Amino acid sequence: MSLVASGVTRHYLRHRKSHTALSGIDLDIAPGARMALVGESGSGKTTLLKTLLALDRPDSGTVTLDGTPVAPGSARSLRWFRRRVQYIPQDPATSLDPRKSVVDLVATPLRLLGSEGDHRALARNALAAVGLNERFLQRRPSELSGGQNQRVAIARAVACEPEYLLADEPVSGLDLDLREQVLDVLGELSTRTSTALLVVSHDLSVAARLCSDISVMCDGSIVESGSIAAVLTNPSHPHTRALLDAVPRLRSN
């Protein structure tokens, strides 16, 4: 059983003309998988991510979790889904309430999802798992670095022990050292908890660093899929080759 997109199509009106954002997308994220979804800006990655998260409804096709259809709805009707599928945003600064302390930020989803146990204790455990100790608990987002805020966003996502983590460009705004630290955190969490991980990125080096499988998007379609090793060493689609040419150091590894 998996998180599956089947034949997903999405159209938008752009400048009074129909624009196809997704064209018959099929994607299967198995339990415990570590998959990258890569492509240039405008390729459809974000639209597909929103659809997988039940934040957008496809014009045709379905998204299912273990065979159960998933679509946008009320917070109550999607509670079962949010417990199992969580999201790590690209820019945590826009999603972390600046008025709340770190421990409250992480505990809030636990309360909203009706998770069992001591929510603040669970939040402290999640923060410890991403390397933020007791001295960070009462700080506000404005008192943290970009990397620390991203760790808070990860802790908030993993606190309810989801089965699937969907991450949108999780290190794009970080410098090299912080980027490596956050990638280490994501990799260690996924390995330790067997949580499936979908990483959406334009950066093939992030995919190679963190994932074992990859799907490449271009103009609303998945144009190539396979193992990281196979796709990055022997790409079959011109778009994949163009992405590789933008990161020449991958070819020498």
State pLDDT tens for residues 87-111. Answer: 999 888 788 999 999 999 999 999 9
pLDDT value for 251 = 44
* Overall average pLDDT of the 214-235 stretch: 95
Confidence of residue 117 (pLDDT cuts 50, 70, 90): very high
Among 35-49, 73-87, 213-227, 238-252, which is the least confidently predicted range?
238-252
What percentage of the chain has pLDDT greater than the value 70? Answer: 98
- Provide the pairing of β-strand 3-14 with 213-218: unpaired
d(CA 235, CA 27): 19
Closest to 109 measured CA to CA, from 166, 53, 152, 157: 157
Domain boundaries, the chain: 3-252
| Main-chain phi, psi angles of 249, to 5 degrees | -70, -20
Maximal C-alpha separation, the chain: 53
pLDDT value for 178 = 86
* Overall average pLDDT of the 122-140 stretch: 95
Give residues with Cβ within 8 angstroms of 181, minimum separation 6.
Answer: 131, 147
Taking the complete model, does pTM exceed 0.85, yes or no? yes
3-state SS record for 39-87? CCCCCCHHHHHHHHCCCCCCCEEEEEECCEEECCCCCCCCHHHHHHEEE
Architecture of the domain whose range is 3-252: 3-Layer(aba) Sandwich (3.40)
Q: What is the mean pLDDT of the chain?
A: 92
Confidence of residue 237 (pLDDT cuts 50, 70, 90): very high
Adjacent-strand bridge partners of 37: 200, 215
Confidence of residue 249 (pLDDT cuts 50, 70, 90): low
Q: Which residues of 127-137 are buried (b: 16+ CB within 10 A; e: fewer)?
A: bebbbbeeebb
Residue 5 corresponds to which tokens in the numbers above?
């997109």
Give residues with Cβ within 8 angstroms of 132, minimum separation 6.
Answer: 102, 148, 151, 152, 155
* Overall average pLDDT of the 9-31 stretch: 91
- The pLDDT tens digits for 173-208 are 788 888 888 899 999 999 999 999 999 998 888 999
Give residues with Cβ within 8 angstroms of 110, minimum separation 6.
Answer: 117, 119, 122, 123, 159, 160
